[in-house]
Amino acid sequence: MGRVALVTGGSRGIGEAISKGLKAAGFDVAATYAGNDEAAAKFTEETGIKTYKWNVGSYEESKAGIEKVEAEIGPIDVVVANAGITRDAPFHKMTPEQWQQVIDTNLTGVFNTVHPVWPGMRERKFGRVIVISSINGQKGQFGQVNYAATKAGDLGIVKSLAQEGARAGITANAICPGYIATEMVMAVPEKVRESIIAQIPAGRLGEPEEIARCVAFLASDDAGFINGSTISANGAQFFV
């Protein structure tokens, strides 16, 4: 039996590439999604990867969903906290709802996803926690006070989990993608997107598979001594 990997937001965007990449690397993959039943069904049909629907912003739903995955596929060895949303607005126009929705999904969602699998990883003395942060958690972004706060928070989460998990054979790392060719980036107004691409020395958006390959490496046995780190994959747009 292969190792089991859970990918939140795993049927679309970067998550879709991560789910497929982990499957190709030999993992038994479960992918979660929040609302788009049609996209999830198409994804399962094409890939054979099972999908599960829950809201990562809810602890109860996450815990129950994870119990279902573990009963159907097996104990989760690798957890990829990828699910994320944007609600962009300049700060003076940002509503408390836009703030809260992004905090609930992108930050509390990481707690809700990792906390239920953590005791099992500690018992089995193996685990890989991989959190998909963002370049905008490292540098901030006009219009993303909410999103940047959550993505910076992710880095604090993995640095702390790394210290707590190290002796139990668990690693926790973050990947900070730059601007990747997904629906999320395509939702940015075209003019703004053009100006963003002009700021990327590579001269192009990244591909979801370029992030998926980082995840597959961090999930592997070869990456066992990489713990608490942040991998930037942004075409040289920003250096920490």
- Contact residues: ligand CAA, CB under 6 A: 86, 88-90, 93, 134-136, 141-144, 147, 179, 184-185, 188-189, 192, 196
* 62/195 Cα distance (integer angstroms): 38
Backbone angles phi, psi at 115, to 5 degrees: -55, -45
Q: Cβ of residue 234: shortest distance to ligand CAA, in angstroms?
A: 8
For ligand CAA, the closer CB: 82 or 227 = 82
For ligand CAA, the closer CB: 163 or 195 = 195
CA torsion through residues 176, 182, 188, 191, sign: positive
Backbone angles phi, psi at 171, to 5 degrees: -110, 150
Q: Which two tokens stand for residue 68?
A: 């279902």
Q: What is the DSSP letter of 61?
A: H
For ligand CAA, the closer CB: 71 or 198 = 198
Q: Cβ of residue 166: shortest distance to ligand CAA, in angstroms?
A: 28
Q: Cβ of residue 39: shortest distance to ligand CAA, in angstroms?
A: 18
Backbone angles phi, psi at 120, to 5 degrees: -65, -40
For ligand CAA, the closer CB: 183 or 221 = 183
Q: Quick one: which of 76, 84, 81, 66 has its CA closest to 13?
A: 84
Q: Cβ of residue 117: shortest distance to ligand CAA, in angstroms?
A: 24
Residues annotated as catalytic are: 147
